[in-house]
């Protein structure tokens, strides 16, 4: 399973390196979403009862994760578009590769792309929203757990929608509701990592990690069945 | 010295049919793409499938590959019961399907595509170079991204992947599509050589005259059924 996962992940990353969809489409899209959110909330507006705190800075964690999620939808679509364009999904089924390996490999490739995206969008958020960092370790834990959850869920539903003619609209319809608890937890934990207190953030980060494990396990168990049905 | 990409032991069931279909119905949604197919294919045969568009030739090949369901009837391929999900998964590893699409990644080069699929198929990596040479892809084309290839060159790349895979049952759907005369002759010679090495082949084609010299038997598919020649 690990050998198969490595093979699939390396192939997907090589395709990404060649096509540069991450740098030319996904990343600019993420930045545009981030900037538009910034336009929607005036930087001069202050939190009620605290004239030193900007509303934009306060809501920055939520805006960041929504921007990541929207950009991730492009990555999910891309991940399965390369398999369905020339019938490669059938060839993968014929190859006898462990379906769990395909799931883990595709999720790992999406994970790496999203981590790069999040680092760059994070820099953008610092510049645009003037955010502070109170607990870097908590932030790293939240980013990893959330990204695992997003990658696993997107890969799972991406496979489900791969054989459908309406897959481009189906993936967001399936992924966004499924990830709403993760988005909620990631936002709360990121707020704690940025503004404290960190003691509030760790339990929520643990909950996000539990979701990540759940979605990953669901993908490992059910991916073979999904591939057979697409 | 160049290794023979098609050589090697390919165990065949002795005295049994490689493919045995009895009253097989295969549904695509609610549409019966196969509506009661009876067909037997023996070891070493090259069966030509002809018939009009939409007759069920492609679905028949996909059933044999374990990619399309057997909703009713009995089906056995290489000794595996195709009505069982686990058996269908097992048979997939032992057949090679060249369908309408080539299963190539546009952004990867010819060599990267062949190497990826050789690894995915668990093929001997030493077979890659001979296969590329045999298909005329070993020189300047090997490092060209597939998106820059002609339809015929893409077909040759897909065939190189199939040659590396060395399947026991070759399932070819319009294998000559997009190929020039030289490419067509090359495909014919590869199929002939595979069969001499112990493989069996089923070829769907709209050019029966071309395949006739290669085929041991011709089967007409019409309306999701076999119109003639069900048994050898």
Supply the ipTM of this predicted assembly.
0.84
Give exposure, B191-213, as e/b (b: 16+ Cβ within 10 Å). Answer: bebbbeeebbbbbbbeeeebbee
Is the CB of residue B49 less than 8 Å from the CB of residue B203? yes
Comparing CB atoms, the residue among B103, B107, B112 nearest residue A19 is B107
User: Is B177 near chain A, with CB under 8 Å?
Assistant: no
User: Is A84 near chain B, with CB under 8 Å?
Assistant: no
Average pLDDT over residues A153-174: 81
Residue A211 has pLDDT above 90, yes or no: yes
pLDDT in the model for residue B4: 44
Residue A182 has pLDDT above 90, yes or no: yes
User: Is B101 near chain A, with CB under 8 Å?
Assistant: yes
Measured over the CA atoms of residue A128, residue A132, residue A136 and residue A138, the dihedral's sign is negative
Is the CB of residue B79 less than 8 Å from the CB of residue B91? no
Cβ distance A90 to B97 less than 8 Å, yes or no, reads: yes
Cβ distance A90 to B99 less than 8 Å, yes or no, reads: yes
Average pLDDT over residues B75-87: 90
Per-residue pLDDT tens for A52-65?
A: 777 788 888 999 99
Whole-Å CA distances, B211 to A201, A202, B185, B191, B215: 69, 68, 10, 11, 6
Nearest CA in chain A to B94: A94
Whole-Å CA distances, B206 to A32, A206, B158: 51, 60, 20
Residue B189 has pLDDT above 60, yes or no: yes
Predicted confidence band of residue B13 (pLDDT cuts 50, 70, 90): very low
* Rounded Cα distance, A218 and A100, in Å: 10
Average pLDDT over residues B69-96: 90
- The lowest-confidence range among A47-51, A102-106, B89-93 is A47-51
Helix (H) or strand (E) run with residue A46 in it = strand A46-47
User: A134 CB contacts (<8 Å, ≥6 apart)?
Assistant: A192, A193, A194, A195, A196, A198
Residue B2 has pLDDT above 50, yes or no: no
Residues in a beta bridge with B76:
B20, B81
Q: What percent of chain B has pLDDT over 90?
A: 48
Which tops the pLDDT comparison, B140 or B112?
B112
Residue B206 has pLDDT above 60, yes or no: yes
pLDDT in the model for residue B230: 47
Q: How distant is the Cα of A30 from the closest Cα of chain B, in angstroms?
A: 24
Give the HSE-up count for residue B27: Cα atoms under 13 Å, Cβ half-sphere: 7
Cβ distance A11 to B108 less than 8 Å, yes or no, reads: yes
Q: How distant is the Cα of A183 from the closest Cα of chain B, in angstroms?
A: 33
* Rounded Cα distance, A168 and A182, in Å: 22
User: Is B82 near chain A, with CB under 8 Å?
Assistant: no
pLDDT in the model for residue B231: 46
Average pLDDT, chain B: 86
Predicted confidence band of residue B3 (pLDDT cuts 50, 70, 90): very low
Which residues of B, range 38-57, sit inside 8 Å of A by Cβ? none
Q: Which of B87, B21, B74 is nearest to B221 (CA)?
A: B21
Which range among A16-25, B79-88, B110-119 has the greatest average pLDDT?
Answer: B110-119
Angle between helices A88-95 and B110-120 (to 10 degrees): 40
pLDDT in the model for residue B6: 44
Per-residue pLDDT tens for A69-112?
A: 999 998 888 888 888 888 888 899 899 888 999 999 999 999 99
Is the CB of residue B76 less than 8 Å from the CB of residue B136? no
Residues on chain B touching A21 (C-beta within 8 angstroms): none
Is the CB of residue B34 less than 8 Å from the CB of residue B206? no
pLDDT in the model for residue B140: 82
Give the 3-state secondary structure of residue A25: helix
Backbone angles phi, psi at B220, to 5 degrees: -100, 125
pLDDT in the model for residue A127: 85
Which range among A81-85, B170-174, B175-179 has the greatest average pLDDT?
Answer: B170-174
User: Is A23 near chain B, with CB under 8 Å?
Assistant: no
Residues in a beta bridge with B41:
B19
Predicted confidence band of residue B16 (pLDDT cuts 50, 70, 90): confident
Residue A68 has pLDDT above 60, yes or no: yes
Which residues of A, range 37-66, sit inside 8 Å of B by Cβ? none
Structure token pair of residue B170: 């070759």
Cβ distance A86 to B65 less than 8 Å, yes or no, reads: no
Burial class (CB in 10 A: 0-12, 13-18, 19+), A161: buried
Residues on chain A touching B100 (C-beta within 8 angstroms): 87
Average pLDDT, chain A: 88
Comparing CB atoms, the residue among A7, A82, A96 nearest residue B105 is A82
Backbone angles phi, psi at B86, to 5 degrees: -65, -35
Comparing CB atoms, the residue among A15, A94, A97 nearest residue B105 is A15
Cβ distance B112 to A97 less than 8 Å, yes or no, reads: no
Per-residue pLDDT tens for B136-157?
A: 888 888 889 999 888 889 999 9
Residue B39 has pLDDT above 70, yes or no: yes
Give exposure, A67-104, as e/b (b: 16+ Cβ within 10 Å). Answer: bbbbbbbbbbbbbbebbbebbbbbbbbbbbbbbbbbbb
pLDDT in the model for residue B228: 76
Strand locations in chain B (E): 19-28, 31-41, 46-50, 72-77, 80-81, 95-98, 169-173, 200-204, 217-222, 225-226
Cβ distance B103 to A88 less than 8 Å, yes or no, reads: yes
User: Is A95 near chain B, with CB under 8 Å?
Assistant: yes
């Amino acid at each position: 399973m690990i050998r198969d996962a490595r093979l699939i992940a390396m192939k997907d990353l090589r395709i990404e390196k060649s096509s540069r969809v991450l740098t030319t489409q996904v990343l600019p899209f993420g930045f545009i979403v981030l900037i538009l959110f910034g336009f929607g909330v005036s930087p001069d507006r202050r939190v009620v009862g605290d004239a030193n705190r900007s509303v934009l800075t306060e809501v920055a964690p939520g805006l960041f994760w929504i921007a990541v999620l929207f950009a991730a939808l492009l990555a999910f679509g891309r991940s399965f578009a390369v398999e369905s364009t020339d019938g490669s999904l059938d060839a993968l089924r014929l190859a006898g590769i462990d379906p769990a390996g395909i799931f883990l490999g595709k999720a790992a490739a999406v994970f790496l792309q999203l981590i790069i995206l999040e680092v760059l969008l994070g820099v953008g958020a610092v510049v645009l929203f003037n955010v502070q960092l109170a607990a870097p370790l908590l932030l790293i834990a939240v980013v990893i757990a959330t990204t695992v959850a997003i990658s696993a869920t997107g890969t799972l539903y991406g496979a489900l929608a791969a054989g459908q003619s309406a897959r481009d609209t189906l993936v967001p319809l399936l992924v966004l509701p499924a990830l709403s608890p993760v988005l909620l937890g990631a936002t709360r934990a990121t707020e704690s990592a940025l503004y404290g207190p960190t003691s509030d953030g760790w339990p929520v980060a643990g909950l996000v990690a539990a979701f990540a494990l759940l979605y990953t396990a669901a993908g490992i168990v059910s991916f073979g069945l999904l591939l057979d049905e697409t | 010295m160049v290794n023979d990409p098609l050589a090697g032991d390919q165990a065949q069931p002795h005295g049994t049919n490689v493919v045995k279909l009895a009253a097989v119905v295969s549904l695509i949604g609610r549409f019966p793409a196969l509506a009661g197919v009876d067909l037997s294919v023996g070891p070493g045969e090259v069966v030509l499938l002809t018939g009009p568009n939409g007759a069920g030739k492609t679905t028949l090949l996909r059933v044999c590959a374990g990619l399309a369901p057997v909703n009713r009837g009995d089906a056995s391929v290489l000794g595996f019961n195709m009505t069982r999900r686990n058996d269908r998964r097992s048979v997939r590893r032992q057949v090679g399907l060249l369908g309408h699409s080539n299963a190539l990644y546009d952004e990867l080069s010819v060599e990267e595509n062949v190497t990826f699929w050789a690894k995915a198929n668990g093929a001997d990596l030493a077979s890659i170079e001979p296969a590329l040479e045999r298909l005329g892809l070993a020189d300047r084309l090997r490092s060209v991204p597939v998106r820059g290839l002609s339809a015929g060159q893409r077909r040759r790349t897909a065939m190189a992947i199939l040659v590396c895979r060395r399947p026991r049952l070759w399932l070819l759907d319009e294998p000559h599509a997009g190929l020039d005369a030289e490419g067509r002759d090359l495909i014919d010679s590869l199929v002939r050589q595979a069969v001499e090495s112990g493989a069996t082949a089923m070829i769907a084609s709209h050019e029966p005259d071309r395949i006739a010299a290669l085929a041991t038997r011709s089967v007409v598919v019409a309306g999701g059924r076999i119109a003639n020649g069900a048994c050898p």
